Structure 1
Amino acid sequence: MTKLVETVSARRWCDRCGEDAAVGGHEPCAAARALEPPRYCAHCRRRMKVQVLPVGWSAVCVEHGETRG
């Protein structure tokens, strides 16, 4: 059973570098995320299992489920 993570308001961590999203300086992360999938769960800071395919990507957090793009 897989659940999709869709809530943006619950994000506490940067999904690229894994650091606190409230602390500034994530402009390079935002720019990189235009081309790359997330690497960390934005809700719990766990490293996610990421799969990149020609048609998109999927990232799975063991606690919060799957995100696709």
Structure 2
Amino acid sequence: MTEPTTGEYCGHCGQPLAAEDHATCRTRLAMEPPRFCTRCRRRMKVQVTPRDWTATCVEHGTVSG
């Protein structure tokens, strides 16, 4: 399992972390699951249940919260 805020790309918008300030994205990631893999920028399959969520990248596996 990897953290949704670590890696080369933003887990919320999918843009490179070095390209811009992602303060708004970090705030949103505190309340909702990541939509993009932070390692490869692929769109992830996200499943939200009343108690938790999972986000799965076909290349790098699952992140949960």
- TM-score, structure 2 length as denominator? 0.89
Is 1:5–2:2 an aligned residue pair? Answer: yes
Instruction: State the 1:57 CA deviation.
Output: 0.3
Stretches of structure 2 that go unaligned for 5 or more consecutive residues are: none
Question: 1:29 is matched with which residue?
Answer: 25
Is 1:46–2:42 an aligned residue pair? Answer: yes
RMSD (Å), alpha carbons: 1.5
- TM-score, structure 1 length as denominator? 0.84
For the residues of structure 2 that align with 1:34 and 1:42, how far apart are their CA atoms? 15
* Structure showing greater Rg: 1
Aligned residue pairs total 64
Identity %: 48
For the residues of structure 1 that align with 2:54 and 2:10, how far apart are their CA atoms? 17
Moved >3 Å (runs of 4+): none
Instruction: State the 1:41 CA deviation.
Output: 0.1
SS in 2 for 1:29: helix
For the residues of structure 2 that align with 1:67 and 1:30, how far apart are their CA atoms? 16
